[in-house]
């Protein structure tokens, strides 16, 4: 495992790299051991982003279902009001 200073330097460098940049662009130069470290950290960033998107998708889906349910409940209530 690398020293904390080296890890901190790599993390700072990776944060400066645009999220749109491909991992192969990031790994264009350097030794083989230096190529593997950013790929691992970049994979962690991608996994974290994927999990955030997945949570947002589920939240939006359940919000949409709740809104449709509320509309149906309102329509039923209005229909019952008109019957009396």
Residue 1 pLDDT? 47
Residue 23 pLDDT? 54
Between helices 32-83 and 4-16, what is the axis angle to 10°?
Answer: 60
The residue assigned the tokens 């991608």 is 46
Residue 71 pLDDT? 97
Which of the residues in the chain have pLDDT under 70? 1-2, 18-42
Residue 16 pLDDT? 74
Residue 81 pLDDT? 93
Residue 17 pLDDT? 73
Please tell me the pTM assigned to this model. Answer: 0.46
Q: Which of 10, 74, 75 is nearest to 39 (CA)?
A: 10
């Amino acid at each position: 495992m690398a020293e904390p200073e080296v890890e901190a330097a790599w993390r700072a460098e990776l944060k400066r790299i645009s999220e749109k940049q491909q991992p192969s662009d990031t790994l264009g130069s350097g030794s083989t051991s230096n190529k593997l470290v950013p790929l691992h950290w970049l994979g962690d960033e991608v996994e974290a982003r994927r999990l955030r998107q997945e949570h947002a998708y589920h939240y939006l889906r359940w919000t949409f279902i709740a809104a449709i349910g509320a509309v149906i409940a309102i329509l039923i209530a209005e229909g019952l009001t008109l019957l009396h």
